[in-house]
Amino acid sequence: MCGIFAYLNYLTAVDRQSIADILTNGLKRLEYRGYDSAGLAIDGDNENDVLIYKEVGKVAALQKLIQEQNTIDWQKTFTSHCGMAHTRWATHGQPSPINSHPHRSDPKNEFTVVHNGIITNYRELKLVLEKKGYTFESETDTEAIAKLAKYIWDSQKGNKQLTFTDLVKGVVKELEGAFAMIFKSVHFPNEIVATRRGSPLLIGVKTPKKLKVDFVDVEFGGIAEEIPAEVEGAPAALSALEEIYEQPESVVNTMRGRVNFDTHKVTLGGLKTYLPTIRRCRRIVFIACGTSYHSALATRAIFEELTEIPVSTELASDFLDRKTPIFRDDVCVFISQSGETADTILAMRYCIERGALCVGVTNTVGSSISRESHCGVHINAGPEIGVASTKAYTSQYIALVMIAIQLSEDRTSMTARRNEIIDGLHALPAHIKEVLAIDQELQRLARDVLHKEKSLLIMGRGFQNATCLEGALKIKEVSYMHSEGILAGELKHGPLALVDENMPVILIMTRDSLYPKVRSALEQVTARKGQPIIICNKGDDAINAESKTIRVPQTVDCLQGLLTIIPLQLLSYHLACLAGVDVDFPRNLAKSVTVE
């Protein structure tokens, strides 16, 4: 929700005070976007000087700070000058002057940057730059951009052909995420470079001549979009566990700027133009693979409940094999963490050919799905290093719930249900932290009960069916233990034959409308001498005190799967460690499946 504003006066004499006023007035025009701090950068008295002023609070506080700078000649006139300004809504690091924009490359302010968006691979960039001797002073992702510009400049000092534009292109090639940015440098006086990927950016032109238009939308550049980044990654020894523990933060990033908890409103800008079309559609078809498919399965019921539109879920490969009929009044939603999953891309192109509206839900801006779909939602989970998806699953889950909420906003009969879900989303980060706090208990369970087993059954129904499938997938792909997710309603139709005193069973039995039916499944398992581990809600006294339990906080039924999946993610990790398996790079698997 940040706002960026820059002003370039070229061969037009303007005094420093007027430049500062233009910049701060520009920021005031952006105040509607919401922000917690503001800052600007202008030229100093010497050729290599850049003055940076930053303040927490409103633009008025920044103006007051500028007025207090009595040692600066505010009447000094510049024939050509570039200034930049920014309002910040904190995404990385708390609101403070040091975390506010503009960000600098070094104490001499050789490069300054203002940025709107999220750089999802900033941690990896920061690690690489720190190893090369660059010191960071803030907690933000933007500082890595300025430092990266300085690194490229330092490594090519002898290259007299290097232009400011080429330098910025080199920076952009290494960035992942959505952004709009403006660069300023003492090495390229009277120049600024503007660039964007995913985020909007306009260039305004004012001249005595009459122009056809007075603003230009910055289009995507071919170089930044097509050349893959090659940045040394962070050590991945503990990345899977780190990503599981990042989920309180990643779910907030998914909701940030989109969910207003005070007004109980959800706003997804990427869908705004297409909402009327989606609401009129005949059916919605979720198409995905693996974990992404499970996120679709987890949210199908709440989609149907809120929108009253039929929803089906399809595995992309099977969808293509069957040549599934698709029509012009269908809406097809394609879910992929990387945005490059081959089967999902082919399924999307198949649907586009048949005239369906295609919606992309990805974690990678500029990916094939995000480019080729008609509209979409970026889940903002941040980069996942481990092959087994953890935080992307929970962010996909939330993104799909948010889509369902926004689609149903024209249905007043669903207001109470929407408000209940949004309140549940608000409490979600704290609830996830509660689940993560029982990690030691889960580690003991993995070591003492499950470690030496050859197979595992995970049972549940309703909203927990997808959790069973996803939990089983995590365990099998990470620890290589055979595991099977079973719909508890199907227990009598075959799977019950596997249950005896030697078969480990995990049963998900949380307090929702299907609780009595899941309890019936529990009785069937115990009647066959099974000794299930029960994932249940805290305070559920109906469960036998002698039973092995994993207790999680209670939340709204359609969000409960976000809490019950985390113990299974942690169990998969600990089982893999006990088996001596490389958790982050399971055998035979790849993070982005780009072939059929």
User: Which positions are catalytic?
Assistant: 2
Which tokens belong to 409?
């906003």
Angle, CA of 329, 335 and 336, to the nearest 5°: 145
Query: Residue 581 CB: number of other CB atoms within 10 A?
Result: 17
Name the nearest CA neighbour of 331 among 272, 275, 284: 284
Q: In what order do the strands lie in the sheet with 311-315?
A: 311-315, 283-288, 330-336, 357-362, 375-378
Which tokens belong to 184?
């300023």
The 3-state secondary structure of 14-59 reads: EEHHHHHHHHHHHHHCCHHHCCCEEEEEEECCCCCCEEEEEEECCH
Q: What distance in Å separates the CA atoms of residue 514 and residue 377, rounded to the nearest whole number?
A: 31
Q: What distance in Å separates the CA atoms of residue 168 and residue 450, rounded to the nearest whole number?
A: 52
Residue 384 corresponds to which amino acid? Answer: E
Return the exposure string of 39-61: e unless at least 16 CB atoms fall within 10 Å of the residue's CB, then b.
bbbbbbeeeeebbbbbbbebbee
Please count the residues of the chain.
596
The Cα diameter of the chain in Å comes to: 88
Note whether 394 and 299 are within 8 A (CB).
no
Note whether 7 and 19 are within 8 A (CB).
yes
Q: What distance in Å separates the CA atoms of residue 539 and residue 537, rounded to the nearest whole number?
A: 6
Q: What distance in Å separates the CA atoms of residue 288 and residue 355, rounded to the nearest whole number?
A: 19
Q: What distance in Å separates the CA atoms of residue 34 and residue 259, rounded to the nearest whole number?
A: 13
Which tokens belong to 512?
């929702």
Identify the residue whose tokens are 């070229």. Answer: 10
Name the nearest CA neighbour of 267 among 560, 1, 562: 1
Peptide bond preceding 102 in cis form (omega within 30 of 0): yes
Angle, CA of 578, 337 and 145, to the nearest 5°: 100
Which tokens belong to 195?
């660039």
Query: 321: buried, middle or exposed (CB in 10 Å: 19+, 13-18, 0-12)?
Result: exposed
Q: In what order do the strands lie in the sheet with 111-119?
A: 103-104, 111-119, 177-185, 192-197
Q: What distance in Å separates the CA atoms of residue 364 and residue 371, rounded to the nearest whole number?
A: 10
482: Cα separation from own chain's centroid: 31
Note whether 591 and 338 are within 8 A (CB).
yes
Q: What distance in Å separates the CA atoms of residue 147 and residue 134, rounded to the nearest whole number?
A: 7
